[in-house]
Amino acid sequence: MTETTKINPESSLIPAHRNFLGELLVFWLCRRGLWKSFQAVRFRATQPLPAPPGQLNHPVIFYANHNTWWDGYLAHVVTRQVYGLEGYLMMDLRQMRRFRFFSWAGVFSVDRENGREALRSLDYIAGELQGGPGRSLWIFPQGEIQPQERRPLGFQSGLARLIRRTGPCYVYPVAVRHEFFTEPQPEFLISVGEARYFSGDERVDPRKLTAELEAVLSLELDRLRADVNALRLADFVTIIKGRNSAGPFLGQIIGRSRRLAKSRGVSPVRE
């Protein structure tokens, strides 16, 4: 937390308490959880960051659809592993009280049931993002988990209000889907669209900007869905390859049973 960031002592806000060893632990937990539960996590980006993290003088805000419990894990892995940024993530206050150790990796709370407290969280993270180069935030404007095909996305206005508070920043839409292909476990596909730069001098109308940002993410989600349906996946890079699925293992068992049956003169069962 930066020296310039002040928190009202009466606020319910749980701030981030970055800790090098704690962040390594959280990163390991996130990667391991995804490795155990998914066949793969694939990633693509329309464009690179405007500058290397250490030279990135304006913060980056990634805003994504929220369709699974795993989205926070994905956010942390992409921010740290792919981009190498100092990442922050907003978590519901009730969940944050249960999992306070996530604050070691830049997670902080927001009380969406209290408008004043929600604004305090926005002021807090705006100050953190301005506190040094290479800082970023991952935010889910839907506010809660929704089915991945839900349209309209139903954005809340927090993202637009945050942009107005933050000043100069780069804002990226992030489309996330989970799909089953040829293995028992699903895969995650993450597609980062083009950045929009805000200079901080714009007159931001929260309602209008919220609608614009929602429309941009909807288009990115539609593009991702179309590419998945057409199996146009060549531009994706696998950033996590899951542990061996049951598919090859079952194939070995079937092969062995057939060889054993043949050696005993028994007709194997046909698939």
Q: How far is CA 168 from the centre of its chain?
A: 22
Q: What is the per-residue DSSP string for 159-195?
A: HHHHHHHH-SEEEEEEEEEEE--SSSS-EEEEEE---
What pLDDT score was predicted for residue 11?
76
d(CA 18, CA 1): 7
Give me the domains of the chain, ranges plus CATH numbers. 20-241 (3.40.1130)
What confidence category does residue 256 fall into, taking pLDDT thresholds of 50, 70 and 90?
low
The answer to whether residues 36 and 148 touch, using CB atoms and an 8 Å cutoff, is no
- Residue 155 tokens, joined: 């954005």
Strands (E), the chain: 40-45, 60-64, 86-92, 107-110, 135-139, 169-179, 187-192, 196-198, 237-241
Contacts of 31 (CB under 8 A, 6+ apart): 77, 81, 240
What confidence category does residue 261 fall into, taking pLDDT thresholds of 50, 70 and 90?
low
What confidence category does residue 259 fall into, taking pLDDT thresholds of 50, 70 and 90?
low
pLDDT digit string, tens, across residues 125-150? 999 999 999 999 999 999 999 999 99
pLDDT digit string, tens, across residues 171-213? 999 999 999 998 999 999 999 999 999 999 988 899 999 999 9
What confidence category does residue 269 fall into, taking pLDDT thresholds of 50, 70 and 90?
very low
Global confidence as pTM: 0.86
